[in-house]
Amino acid sequence: MVDLKVNLCGLPLDNPIIPASGTFGFGYEFAELYDINCLGTFSFKGTTKEARFGNPTPRIAETPNGMINAVGLQNPGVEKVISEELPKLKQCFNKKVMANVSGFSIEDYAYTCEKLDKEEQVGWLEVNVSCPNVHGGGMSFGTSPEMAAEVTKAVKAVTTKPVIIKLSPNVTNIAEIAVACENAGADGISLINTLLGMRIDLKTKKPVIANKMGGFSGSAILPVALRCVYQVYEAVKIPIVGMGGVSSAEDVIEMMLAGATAVQIGAANLINPYVCRDIIKNLPTVMQKYRINSLKDIIGGAH
């Protein structure tokens, strides 16, 4: 019998499979398709202090082996997430959920995290520092070690639950930023968020997406994600949640060998809504093929 169990920041998971934020809604939509309790957990839709309508359309562009999106953090705001979305989720998911938090100022992050920290269903706070800092000229919080550390400290000061900082790959040295977050008290690191990409429509000769550029995700980015996870594993001692282009049980094992304790699946959910369930079913067979008895034993095994 193979063992799929892992431990993420002190909380046990039946398996390392986690649908990524923005690709799984608040869970109950997918619960109509299959029993989502088979998942390790999932990261719910990026939540901000205030409600957000999101970016103008079109927001999505297809590309070979991937997609580009600029949804713009559309969500009902943290108060409504707590009062409306979490009660609906509780009816179909009996495990702790990962809350994904975004903000446009340090105060935003602290406010939203403090609110979600009080919710019994929330097990981890995944803090997305890829947002533009409205008080810092619009530069993303995650592009500088100092700013990423500031967000980490502010969130840790108001929370009791594990804080996992989600980093952008659109930087020169992702390991340096991960180390700054670890030193500021982060309990884990999530990586990678989307790369920056664009498409141009040959008929109109203009960018396909109204926002011009968007987040590039899908199987094409797996090698970049693996490289980032590998580099960060060498630099920090806290757990890593790896993601980016993962779409099979083999990809999951590759990501764990690079250093991930748990693995998120993003864009693949939008192509096949059953992909996470199928990966969990396939993992034992793939583990046996590569003579792996326990997933926790292979974390960082490629180093």
Query: Distances in Å between the alpha carbon of 4 and those of 16, 24, 66, 131?
Result: 7, 22, 28, 34
Direct distance between the N- and C-terminal alpha carbons of the chain, in angstroms, rounded to an integer = 26
Cα–Cα distances in Å, from 22 out to 75, 178, 194?
A: 10, 22, 11
Nearest to 272 by CA among 247, 245, 250: 247
Q: What is the secondary structure of 221-270 as a DSSP string?
A: GHHHHHHHHHHHHHH-SS-EEE-SS--SHHHHHHHHHHT-SEEEE-THHH
The 8-class DSSP code of residue 92 comes to T
Alpha helices in the chain (DSSP H): 28-31, 78-80, 86-90, 106-117, 145-156, 174-183, 222-235, 249-258, 268-271, 275-289
- Let me know if 276 is a catalytic residue: no
Structure tokens at 164: 């996992």
Q: Which of 9, 113, 131, 181 is catalytic?
A: 131
Count of residues in the chain: 303
Active site residues per annotation: 131
